[in-house]
Structures are given as structure tokens and as C-alpha cells.
Structure 1
Amino acid sequence: MTTPAPAPDTVGTEPAHPQTPAPTRSRRPRRSKLPLWLILPAVGTLLVGLAYPVTWQIINSFKEYGLAQQFGQPAEFVGLQNYIALLTDSVFWTIAIRSVVFMALTALITMAIGILMALLMKAVPTWSRIVLQVAMLLAWSMPIVAQMTVANWLIDDRNGVVNYALSLIPGVDMVGHNWLVEPLSFFGVAMTIIVWASVPFVAFSVYAGLTQVSEEVLEAAQLDGAGRAQTLRLIIMPIIRPVLVILLLLQLIWDLRVFAQIQLLQDFGAGGERYDLLGTYIYGLGIGQSQFGMASAAAMVVMVLTIAVSWGYVRSMLKEDQES
């Protein structure tokens, strides 16, 4: 008869403890360098395309560069003299303030009409939306010279359609009225042309943002009793706010640098340089008066003003990148 083997003696032995893993240092996830490589071609193209003209403008803004230098005479270094002469000129400040006011009004009106057109495209049936989109595409694709030619036909003081249509109103006689003589009507015509050409871009961009708003979110707001105005103000607008901000920034920059429309209207009308904005003022200094040093200094001032306009958006983007 076999007896079972005695159990091992465990007296005096310590119970085994599971080994705890050594603490590991938390590692931050490594960011991929692929985005940097993808933007290198675009950054390189910008540097190649902008390096020479910007450097030329900066250097010549510190020189006396006029008509004589065009025929080989060396440009004299004058330091900050061009900037001092420019910033102490009351004419420059008048034009700068006028340009800023024109920029703000034109951009705000463009944004308001563009948002309304986008909401209209979202609300109307498909066939109506297609007709509206085609019409705006035609307006957007029209060259500036063609736009200005049509505008000149419309406001012509002898055979213009606008004067003829207004004269049909009882008690109104607009035959022979020149819209480009008075400053308010001159800039009103310029603003109308620029807004008409810029609204399609804003409308299409905002409409694209509206299509990304989730239907579930809108249905939830409707179930909670929110009206259309409340839904638009409290839900839709905050969702598409990034699109609206970048569109407003682009409109401000474009309207600050407007040139062709003002120059062509000056050629059509009798006001001439009295109705300059910054773009035509710089063009007149450089090409018209051959004061390329002063024109370069004015261009640098406009560049600083453009950076100041866009700095708020750039700072918000940097803040969002750091938080993410």
C-alpha cells in the first residue's frame, strides 16, 4: 500500500509577491513630418516669387530712386527720409483713412449679401439653386475690364441705362447726371462693382459650410423649440464661424489693395487723382511721378497695415494649434 508524499514544509517561507513593472516615462506622441514636406513646395514657390520684388521694395524705400536712376544714375541712400516725408504728408493720411473706411464698408456689405445668398441657396428648390449658382458663376468669372465696361455703359451720363430708368420715376430727372463727379457717388459706384464681383465667392464658400452642418443637430434644436432665427444665430453661425472669419479676412485684404476698379473709374470720370485709394496712390507715385523710393515706402506701409489687419486671425490660429 502506497502512502501519499508529504506536503512540502512551508513554514518560515515568505509568500511570493507579484513583480510590479518598472515605471515607464510617458512619451509624447511623435508628430509626423509629412505635413512639413507637403508644404515645402508651396513655401519654396512663394519665397522664389516674392523674395526679389519684396527685397527690391525694401531696399529702394531707403533710397532716393527717381527718374534719374532709371537712366543709370546711382540711387542715393536717404535712410528714413522717404518714410518721414510720407507719414508727415496730410494727403497720405487722408487717402489711408479713406481706404480703410472703404475697405471696411465694402467687406461688411459683401459678407452680409454673400451670407444671405448662401442661405437662399440652401432654402430654395434644386432647380432654383442651380440657376442662381450659374448666374453667380458668370458674374464671378467676368474679367475686370469687362465688368468696368458694362458699368460704364450703365452709368453713362448721356445714354446710361441707370439714368434713363431713374428718369422714368415721376418728378425725377437724371438725364445727363454724371455719377463719377461727386466723391460719394464715385465710391458708391466703385463699391457696387466690387461687391457685385465678390459676393459669389462668399456665397459659394458659406454655402459649402452650411452643407456640413449636421441635420441631426438641426433636428435636435427644432425639437427643443428653437425657431429659425435662434437656430441660425445660436447653432449654425457658431459652427461655420471659422469659414466666416477667413472670408472676412480675405475680403478685408482684397478690398484694402483694390486698384483696377478705381483706376478705370478715374479714367472714365473727371475726378482723376482726387479720388485715390492706396493702390492708385502708390501707382501714381511710382509710374506717374517716377518717385519709386516714395512709392516703395508707401507699399511697405500698406504691407504693415495688411499684416495688422490679419494678425488677429493668425494669432487665433497659433493659439488653437498650441491647444491641440
Structure 2
Amino acid sequence: MSVATDRQPAATIAPRRKRKPVLPYWLLVPAIAILVIGTGYPTAWQLFNSFREYGLAQQFGKPAPWIWFQNYTELLSDSQFWAVVLRSLVFCAVTAGATLIIGLGIALLMAAVGRTVRIMLQVSMLLAWAMPVVAAMTVWTWLFDRRRGVINYTLDKIPGVDMYRFNWLAEPLTFFFVASVIVIWMSVPFVAFSLYAGLTQVSEEVLEAADLDGASGSQRLRLVILPIIRPVMSIVLLLQIIWDLRVFTQITILQDAGSSASEFDLLGTYIYKLGTGSQHFGMAAAASVVVLIITLVVSGGYVWRIMKEDSK
């Protein structure tokens, strides 16, 4: 008797669709709520006030009439506002670019030196980064003081250079030079630490392969290292552009030590004087909305590039 050897094929079971975990989304809810309350509410309030006439009288209970786009019309037709915008964009481009270059150089230096020197660099930058802004500005104001400043004293010792009682804060060009030096000095530690963290992710095998192919030091940096850490550089540059475009404390303290004329204003101090100084809170709110739009336009390209790189 023959035994049947044919077997029925097993029924194929459709694979179950893997359910996405819900817990990560619930964990994001508190952070999103804090962001909406802490940032969304003030932004909405500024937008709301930018369409009203809101001055000193409204601070004492007088109703704020709706004037719709009148604040924006007056603001955008003011040549002084556009001068401040152009000055702020140039200042932002110079400080953000210089900060990125200097921070990258220090990050490469930390990756190249030994452990002891690297720790000394890191500790010194941490101390500079942790120093409160007002305390740091007090030191910098002393350094550039025209009567007892170390900068003038040192430069005056150079043959052919006359810096006796030179006032760095009297002219807009030298004023913003001092401001850019201070802003760069305060921002370099963050950039250097961020880029150094990116450099630690560059594998030794890739660098050894570049050496075997005969790449020079500059070629290895330009063709191997920088493309690998480009996402980190993009994020750092984006943050620097946002921070430097709305710098306020450093400019205000320097103006208190020098001149508070309109030629020494950036967007932050301009809006502050427009609101608190002139009591034109509706106009100041409109200026804040315009600055928000400028920030989104300036940083939009970098955000799009970062999202494009993440999607690859």
C-alpha cells in the first residue's frame, strides 16, 4: 500500500501591521504645551496689539482702538527702521560667520592636541561661557575704557600707533566692532563644543583611507571632515543667526557706556526704545512681528536644507 507523500501547502498568513508606539507622542505633549504657552501666547499677544493703538494711556485702562495696518504702514515707510534692519543683518552675518569659523578652528585644535591641553581649552571656554552677561560686559567695558582701558594702553605702546584716550564707543563703526568682538567671544564656546562633538563622530577608518589615498591636510578637511559634520554646522549656524539677529543686552550696556543715539541701534534696542522709551507699544509690537518674519525668511533656507538632509 502506497503512502501519499504529497502535503497540502501551509496557508499563508498575512503579516500584521506593526503598531506604532503611542508613548513617545504622549511624552511630547508636556513639552509642546509649555512651548505653546510660553512662546505662542506672547507671540499672539504681540500680533494682537500690532493692529491697535496701544500707548501710555492704554496702560492705565483706556480702551485701545483698532487701527488695523496703520502701525505697519508707518513702520515700513520709516527710513530709520530700514536702516536698523540693514545694520542688524550685516552685524548678524559678520558675527555668525566669524563665530562659526573661529569655533571650527578651536574644535579642530581640540581634536588635534593632547588630553591635557584639550582639558585646559575646554575649562577656559566653559568659564567664559558660564560668565553672566552683565559681569562679562562690565569687564569688556573696562577693557575698552578710553581712560584706563587695557586695550588702549597696549595699542598705544606700538610704535606709530596713537590710541591715547581713544573712545571706541563714540563712532558707530568702532562701536559695532567692539560689540561684534564681545558677541563672538560669548558665542564661540557653544560652537566649538558642538563642532568638537561632531568631529568625534568622524571614524578613524575614513581618515586613514584618506591618508592612504594621498590626501593632504587641507583636502582631508575640505573633502572628508567638513561634509561629515555639515549637519552640525548647519544647525549651529542657524542658531547663531537667530541669536545674533536679536542681540540686545550687549548693545544696551555698550550704549549706556557710550552713546544711545539711533545710529547705534540694532533691532532689539530699536524695539525697546520704540515701546518702553517712546510708549508706542502698538508700533513696537508691529516691529516685533516684522522681525519675526525677517528671522523666518533668513533662517528658512537653513531649515529647509536641514530637513532635506534628514529625509535622505
Same fold (TM over 0.5): yes
Is 1:89 aligned with 2:78? Answer: yes
Structure 1 residues 217, 320: closer, same or farther in 2, change over 3 A?
closer
Is 1:303 aligned with 2:303? Answer: no
Q: Give 1:264's aligned amino acid.
A: I
- Aligned with 1:112 (options 96, 101, 113): 101
Give the match for residue 26 of structure 2: 37
Q: What number of residue pairs does the alignment pair up?
A: 312
Question: SS of the counterpart of 1:64?
Answer: coil
Q: Normalising by the residue count of structure 1, what TM-score does the alignment of the two structures yield?
A: 0.90
1:58–1:297 contact (8 Å) kept in structure 2:
yes
Distance in structure 2 (CA, Å) of the matches to 1:116 and 1:125: 16
The Cα shift of 1:22 comes to: 6.1
Distance in structure 1 (CA, Å) of the matches to 2:258 and 2:167: 8
Give the match for residue 135 of structure 2: 146
Give the match for residue 57 of structure 2: 68
Is 1:209 aligned with 2:198? Answer: yes
The Cα shift of 1:49 comes to: 1.4
Structure 1 residues 123, 245: closer, same or farther in 2, change over 3 A?
same
Question: SS of the counterpart of 2:62?
Answer: coil
Give the match for residue 175 of structure 1: 164
Q: Give 1:148's aligned amino acid.
A: M
Question: SS of the counterpart of 2:146?
Answer: coil
Which whole-Å deviations, capped at 9, do the CAs of 1:173-195 have from their partners, x for residues lacking one?
21111001111100000000000
- Aligned with 2:255 (options 239, 242, 266): 266
1:286–1:295 contact (8 Å) kept in structure 2:
yes
Distance in structure 2 (CA, Å) of the matches to 1:128 and 1:16: 76
Distance in structure 2 (CA, Å) of the matches to 1:111 and 1:238: 15
Is 1:189 aligned with 2:178? Answer: yes
Give the match for residue 198 of structure 1: 187
Q: Normalising by the residue count of structure 2, what TM-score does the alignment of the two structures yield?
A: 0.93
The Cα shift of 1:134 comes to: 0.9
Q: Give 2:287's aligned amino acid.
A: A
Bigger drift between 227-236 and 179-188 goes to 227-236
Q: Give 2:107's aligned amino acid.
A: A
Is 1:162 aligned with 2:151? Answer: yes
2:231–2:306 contact (8 Å) kept in structure 1:
no
Is 1:226 aligned with 2:215? Answer: yes
Percentage of matched positions with identical amino acids? 58
Distance in structure 2 (CA, Å) of the matches to 1:221 and 1:317: 26
Structure 1 residues 65, 86: closer, same or farther in 2, change over 3 A?
same
CA RMSD of aligned residues (A): 2.1
Structure 1 residues 238, 160: closer, same or farther in 2, change over 3 A?
same
Bigger drift between 264-273 and 198-207 goes to 264-273
Give the match for residue 42 of structure 2: 53
The Cα shift of 1:229 comes to: 1.3
Distance in structure 2 (CA, Å) of the matches to 1:81 and 1:216: 62
The Cα shift of 1:143 comes to: 0.9
Q: Give 1:77's aligned amino acid.
A: W
Select the structure of larger CA radius of gyration: 1
Distance in structure 2 (CA, Å) of the matches to 1:252 and 1:75: 35
Distance in structure 1 (CA, Å) of the matches to 2:201 and 2:287: 42
Question: SS of the counterpart of 2:190?
Answer: helix
Distance in structure 2 (CA, Å) of the matches to 1:229 and 1:276: 40
Q: Give 1:201's aligned amino acid.
A: F
1:266–1:273 contact (8 Å) kept in structure 2:
no
- Give unpaired runs (5+ residues) of structure 2: none
